Amino acid sequence: MSDKTFGFETLSVHAGAAPDPATGARALPIYQTTAYVFEDADHAAALFNLQTVGFIYSRLTNPTNAALEARLATLEGGRGCTVASSGHAAQVLALFPLMQPGAEIVASSRLYGGSLQQMKNTYPKFGWKAEIVDADVPENFKRAVTENTKAFFIESLANPGGVVSDIEAIARIAEASGVPLLVDNTLATPYLCKPIDYGATLIVHSTTKFLSGTGTSMGGAVVDSGKFDWSRGGKFPSLAGPEPAYHGLNFYETFGDMAYTFHSHAVGLRDLGPSQAPFNAWLTMLGIETLGLRMERHCANAAKVALHLEKHPAVAWVNYAGLPSNKYNKLAQKYLPKGAGSVFTFGVKGGYDVGVKVVDGVELFSHLANIGDAKSLIIHPASTTHRQLSDEQRVAAGAGPDVLRLSIGIETVEDIIADLDQALAKATA
């Protein structure tokens, strides 16, 4: 089922998952197996030579994971996909074919805090460097490019929300610089935004969030558009030169627009090992069946809650790109016409003490460190995810003492608003 004439919702239910040919089972089977029997010695040799496509060992490939990979590639409008054990694993896996010691990326300062942490503290241990720039000015990417730059990295809609990147402008600069643009599309999901349509080369996801959708399963994914010429400028020897990690195979010459995806399985997953559990892939496939319905409700609820909070006497400000008053509203109308997602921040009058009382006062909301669940979630970053930072660093990261982050669920919107109202009333009494 790869017919491009089907709509998004149809593909969300069907892409990658035909009835099981062996049993007729209509639901996708969970292939809970480590390895796969070879037909004979020639078949085994052909599999290991990548001369035939099939299954060897579940660190590299698994049929349940392959179904999720096919579905995500289809929904993003990409050529191939590799799933990983978490969003953070997917980010390392995504950069791995492009990088080597001394290589650099240019990344937006408005990324999810965990991603900035990974780039600043862990990438240097691989000899990779991340130059962090303010993505509100796309020209900043051009200024940060050096001869060692291998990629740009942005989020379409940034966690914790309110920030929308000008994907098309940044993709043009990436193209002119001869490097791929990676877009973390976790908060938007392909239902709200398809960055490949605007020139992105690679998409990364934390499928942990809206794609699985019910807070049950860690997972990540890398989708390749298949559109980048990896032989351009000699910048990507692992993909378009003899790859010593795979007996000198030139992936780009051999596999063309599937080179990146084949490399991610045959070298990335093989040697780094962050494979997704098939059960998590199965739960994520189930989640994606309702992605469109859920995102519609997530966005409608979030827009109503944001409007309500903007008028609330205990609230100092609301950062939601869907609000007409928001700085990023014009970009949101272009890139997220169906809605600005459901994760955003707001500030309470009274700072830290009131913020802490609000998270202690909610009853329907869950106070925890996650987003993209069907349930409404809340966190006070200054006392939790950002507590190790100094006051100045917290403010710079958008996690000042007064900030609360919401991930609006799909419950009845009046109940969501009533819970916030009672928590704000108690906190400011």
Ligand X SMILES: *Cc1c(COP(=O)(O)O)cnc(C)c1O
Binding site for ligand X (CB under 6 A): 86-88, 112, 114-115, 155, 159, 184, 186-187, 206, 208-209, 218, 220, 371
Q: Provide the pairing of β-strand 149-155 with 163-164.
A: unpaired
Q: Tell me which residue has its CB nearest to ligand X.
A: 87
Closer residue to ligand X (CB): 16 or 220: 220
Closer residue to ligand X (CB): 187 or 202: 187
292 sits in which H/E element: helix 291-310
- Beta-bridge mates of residue 204: 184, 222
Closer residue to ligand X (CB): 356 or 371: 371
Q: How many angstroms separate the Cα of 247 from the Cα of each of 42, 111, 238?
A: 19, 37, 12
CB neighbours (10 Å) of residue 198? 20
- How near is the Cβ of 185 to ligand X at its closest, in Å? 9
DSSP code for 118:
I
Residue 407: name the closest of 363, 357, 346 by CA: 346
Q: At what angle do helices 413-428 and 291-310 cross, to 10 degrees?
A: 40
Q: Is the dihedral of CA 39, 40, 46, 48 positive or negative?
A: positive
Q: How many angstroms separate the Cα of 139 from the Cα of each of 2, 133, 170, 344?
A: 37, 10, 8, 26
- Beta-bridge mates of residue 406: 344, 378
Closer residue to ligand X (CB): 58 or 108: 108
- How near is the Cβ of 340 to ligand X at its closest, in Å? 15
- How near is the Cβ of 189 to ligand X at its closest, in Å? 11
Closer residue to ligand X (CB): 361 or 372: 372
Closer residue to ligand X (CB): 110 or 297: 110
- How near is the Cβ of 141 to ligand X at its closest, in Å? 19
- How near is the Cβ of 88 to ligand X at its closest, in Å? 4
Residue 284: name the closest of 210, 224, 394 by CA: 210
Closer residue to ligand X (CB): 38 or 126: 126
